[in-house]
Amino acid sequence: MCGIVGYIGSKKATPFLLEGLTCLEYRGYDSAGIATIEDNKIEVKKDKGRVKNLYDLDGIDSLVGTVGIAHTRWATHGKPSKDNSHPHLDNSGTFSVVHNGIIENHNELRNFLISKGYSFASQTDTEVIPNLIHYYFNNGENIGDNKFLSAVKQAVSDLKGSYAIVVMSPLFKDELIVARKDSPLVIGTSNGENFIASDIPALLSHSKNFYLLDDNEFAVVCKDKIKFYDINLTEHRKGIKNIEWDATETGKNGFEDYMLKEIFEQPNSIRETIGSRLKLGENCYFDDLEISEEFLHNINQIYIVACGTAMHAGLIGKTILENLCKIPTTVEIASEFRYRNPLIDEKTLCIYISQSGETADTIAALKLAKSKGATTIAISNVISSSITREADYSIYTHAGPEIAVASTKAYTSQVVLIAILAIHFAEILNSYEQEKLEALKADILDLPSKIENILADTSKIKNFADKVYTEKDMFFLGRGIDYAVALEGSLKLKEISYIHSEAYAAGELKHGPIALIENNVTVIGIITEPDLVDKTCSNLQEVITRGAKTLIVTNMQLENNCFDFVIDIPEINHLLSPILSVVPLQLLSYYISKNKGLDVDKPRNLAKSVTVE
């Protein structure tokens, strides 16, 4: 959640800070603010609402400072308001802080500071941080030769929870101090200026060279140098990462919204994810994995652990892994997995999926599994993200930056990568007929062109959206692997259109949910499982009898078709059909949201990276 940017250099900081916040607004958009050092004091400009509101604030054009920090907020403690927006100051105005994360013991710290004479202007957990820094600056011990850094270190040592912070002070106007624990923070470097942000895309126009802060690590950032320190404030050297994402990838490139652009980017993101890993007539190539035949034969369980859309990708991965590899596979919601004492040992393989690589629950679940001796694999779209640095092995989707809050291209890339991984395991185990594996590989290689065929004409989907966008409830039905697609389709509709929707395994309909079906309710069915066509059609007939109107996404020849609308998709192996059948559902949600006049890319109450528990 929340977006942080910082700048130190020789140029005016405000333009970069506003640009960076705009790039990071997918992380939160309840309020926004910036602070710069002006004439040896901190000037703060902030307001409730979107980043664009900052451009109209009185005095913002007069800020000429070359050191600054900024923040766009996803509210946790305290409602969206000007007072609760960041940056926050200590009582004396000496220290300013922007923060991403949650301070779990903020009430305890607030009471301590009140007892020392401090007061508070907001309801946030963050405001304790600058006041703690001020307290330790005046009352703490000096650790090393930097009193500012020493005070920050002592302050964060009191914090329980997660944080990424940038701290600024006019007493030390030639440096910014950053620290992180369980929340992402990157530093981009250039000639004579340095940049700080929560995510790499915010910095791509300014730098291709990045330092990725580790947990419990500090940095003192000056315009021409950066020093790194561990938890004990021992200075150390740190390697730099070169990121070759094209800055233009973060633009809309002529599309009206990022989500639509990212839907149409799926053919290319899948091609990039396939890369050199899969070729006909050759074994799949994973040089970044050291998984042996002996290990795979000895494991007794695979867990796939993720949240939201990534968890739905895992549900499809479960079916593919069990079909190809014959290994029992369980999909778990990361936030639940952590707290139910799962049965994990050295014979367990755990696969963790996170687009950002910063999902707090997923990272915590990974750490739990490692502590119990499991082998861990991370699947992420972001190189050197937190989850990939924690896992034993990491493999990457290559979807490029995904800006829209509702995931589309990252999701389909995740499913493709899990499918290739399952083929790789099956080749090691010799658990599936080689001829069928080759056919499956051919189908994977055909996926981009088949998605292009779907995207070539979206008029039928748009026309259906025009008919149903005013509805209050919808239902998604599927059986087998199609049920996982129903879950994802329902989630997309909820996320961006705010229409209540439910997804059910079609066979469960008669066990209660059919009571919700009434005249003219929309039911969307997915039918791609060859062995379940007749049964799914029978389940859908039950809703038609009760007055529902139906939209069907299918690649099957449906006899005695009595459905109101049918979206045909290309034929493909049923294990891969979710990668195709989800595309019309993504588009349907998009067009419904547009018809309702909603902000497709920034749905209410949501943020792109969920870095809090």
For residue 428, what are its two tokens? Answer: 């090691």
Distance from chain centroid for Cα 548: 35
d(CA 400, CA 418): 18
What is the spatial distance between Cα 374 and Cα 381, in angstroms, rounded to a whole number?
A: 23
Structure tokens at 369: 């599994």
Kind and range of the H or E run holding 45: strand 41-48
Q: How far apart are alpha carbons 49 and 65 in whole angstroms?
A: 24
Q: Six-digit token pair at 8?
A: 């130190």
Q: Which residues are catalytic?
A: 2, 608
**Nearest CA among 98, 191, 139, 482 for reference residue 312:** 482
Cα(291)–Cα(425) distance, integer angstroms? 8
Q: Which helix (H) or strand (E) holds 128?
A: helix 128-139
Q: Given the structure tokens 């399952």, which residue do they identify? A: 422
Q: Across 383-483, where does the E strand assignment appear?
A: 393-396, 473-478
Helix (H) or strand (E) holding 73: strand 67-73
Of 582, 553, 557, the residue nearest 568 (C-alpha): 553
Contact (CB, 8 A) for 95 and 32: no
- Residue 50 tokens read as 């979107």
Gap between the Cα atoms of 394 and 392, Å rounded: 7
